[in-house]
Amino acid sequence: MKVNNQWIRGIWSDDGGKTVCFPDQTKLPFRLEICREGTSDALIRAIKSMQVRGAPLIGAAGAWAAAFLCREAETEEELQEGLKRIAEARPTAVNLQWAVRRVAAASEGLSGAARAARAQKAAEEICESDIESNRAIGGYFAAIIEEVYRKNGRPVRILTHCNAGWLATIDYGTALSGLYVAQEKGIPMEVWVDETRPRMQGLLTEWELREAGIPCTLIADNAGGYLMQQGEVDLVIVGADRIASNGDVANKVGTYLKALAAKDCGVPFYVAAPVSTVDFSMAEGVKSIPVEERSRSEVTDISGIGPDGDVIRVQVAGRETAVRNIAFDITPARLITGIVTEKGIFAPGAGDRPFMPAPAGTRP
């Protein structure tokens, strides 16, 4: 995406794979700062601290971490232990484990420089195919936006939760990709952006859309139900961190409540994600998908911009307050109108069967 006349991606390498660059998402939308890292440990820290975040981007960063590890590890034991640490950096987004497995499989049986080169190639391929998948996802969802526009003859009002834009991927995004493609086709839209407490990923979405010139309005997380009730939402689109084979979807906490409201109000509720987000080994999601719980300080403190223009943290709840910081929730398949992937749109129905065929070679 182009920001301030500069093309940037969720993560990229500009020195032949010695290091990778990425925007520090803990500083956005207040400040655009590009980090550069060249070790597996530094990338693990970036994933854990959410300097890089969003399921496909976590996968890509994990792939680069695995590639760096392949040139760092001196023994097989070091390699295996390091791969495990990368895969476990965050628990919910299945793209991370998927990407680490892919890099490890690609370089298996090799050693030294050959192993490092093959691992780097695998990481680059993961990044390139993410862009292609997102463009395809965007095409499918833009067709839905266009249909609504042709029917109503006014801007299409779309609600989204969290950030599933280019910042959460290599480029274009998953949920937001359809909006970017629709914009290219000249379809007018108005987007409701949930704040997404406690980490406020909605601010990233609002920043992305504003930079792209798509009209958008930030709303408090709990306002979406009212807007749907009042007929002010035509479509809901969200991303996903893991999708079970029956179509149950793990996404940022608050997604489930939006899906319930959408069902009650008859608003179509879509999920956009690449096939790498589908965990074909998991029959259902509500009981099985591991849900990350993060530090209490994300709830007790919020980040903002201080008088000097610096990013500062402000305490909003007591140090003694009991806190549980659940980062994701699971939306049952029955509440989802369609899952938009690079392979097409699938309606999961009652969630009593696989919502799409498993690609050859995936474990049931």
Residues with catalytic annotation?
A: 241
Minimum CB distance to ligand MRU, residue 270 (Å): 12
Nearer to ligand MRU, 105 or 323 (CB): 323
Binding of ligand MRU by 61 (CB under 6 A): no
Render 330-361 in DSSP notation, one character per residue.
EE-GGG-SEEEETTEEE--TTSSS-SSPPPTT
Q: How far is CA 232 from CA 15, 60, 85, 109, 308, in A?
A: 47, 36, 45, 57, 38
Q: Which residues pair with 303 in a beta bridge?
A: 313
Site for ligand MRU in 166-225 (CB under 6 A): 168, 174, 201
DSSP H helices in 232-357: 255-265, 297-300
Minimum CB distance to ligand MRU, residue 161 (Å): 7
Is 54 marked as binding a ligand? yes
Binding of ligand MRU by 333 (CB under 6 A): no
Minimum CB distance to ligand MRU, residue 93 (Å): 6
Nearer to ligand MRU, 28 or 327 (CB): 327
Dihedral sign from CA coordinates of 250, 220, 34, 15: positive
Residue with the shortest CB distance to ligand MRU: 239
Is 90 marked as binding a ligand? yes
For ligand MRU, the binding residue among 43, 46, 55, 70 (CB under 6 A) is 55
Size of the site for ligand MRU (CB under 6 A): 17
Binding of ligand MRU by 240 (CB under 6 A): yes
3-class secondary structure, 238: strand
Q: Which two tokens stand for residue 325?
A: 């910081």
Nearer to ligand MRU, 1 or 117 (CB): 1
Site for ligand MRU in 289-328 (CB under 6 A): 327
Binding of ligand MRU by 137 (CB under 6 A): no
Q: Which two tokens stand for residue 304?
A: 């903002």
Strands 216-219 and 189-194: parallel
Which positions ≥6 away from 326 have C-beta within 8 Å?
253, 291, 293
Nearer to ligand MRU, 26 or 245 (CB): 26
Minimum CB distance to ligand MRU, residue 95 (Å): 8
Nearer to ligand MRU, 70 or 208 (CB): 208
Binding of ligand MRU by 262 (CB under 6 A): no
Site for ligand MRU in 220-239 (CB under 6 A): 238-239
For ligand MRU, the binding residue among 40, 251, 331, 341 (CB under 6 A) is 251
Residue 267 and residue 278: Cα distance in Å, rounded?
Answer: 24
Is 201 marked as binding a ligand? yes
Longest dimension (CA), the chain: 63
Minimum CB distance to ligand MRU, residue 44 (Å): 15
3-class secondary structure, 158: strand
DSSP state of 141: H
Site for ligand MRU in 16-45 (CB under 6 A): none
Is 55 marked as binding a ligand? yes
Minimum CB distance to ligand MRU, residue 239 (Å): 3
Q: How far is CA 42 from CA 45, 66, 81, 82, 86, in A?
A: 5, 12, 16, 12, 11
Binding of ligand MRU by 99 (CB under 6 A): no
Q: Which two tokens stand for residue 191?
A: 């987007």
Nearer to ligand MRU, 40 or 174 (CB): 174
Is 317 marked as binding a ligand? no
Minimum CB distance to ligand MRU, residue 204 (Å): 8
Residue 47 and residue 39: Cα distance in Å, rounded?
Answer: 13
Residue 144 and residue 7: Cα distance in Å, rounded?
Answer: 28
Strands (E), 143-288: 156-160, 189-194, 216-219, 235-238, 242-244, 249-252, 269-272, 278-279
Nearer to ligand MRU, 53 or 258 (CB): 53
Annotated binding-site members for substrate = 53-55, 90, 201, 251-252
Per CB under 6 A, residues contacting ligand MRU are: 53-56, 162-164, 168, 174, 201, 238-241, 251-252, 327
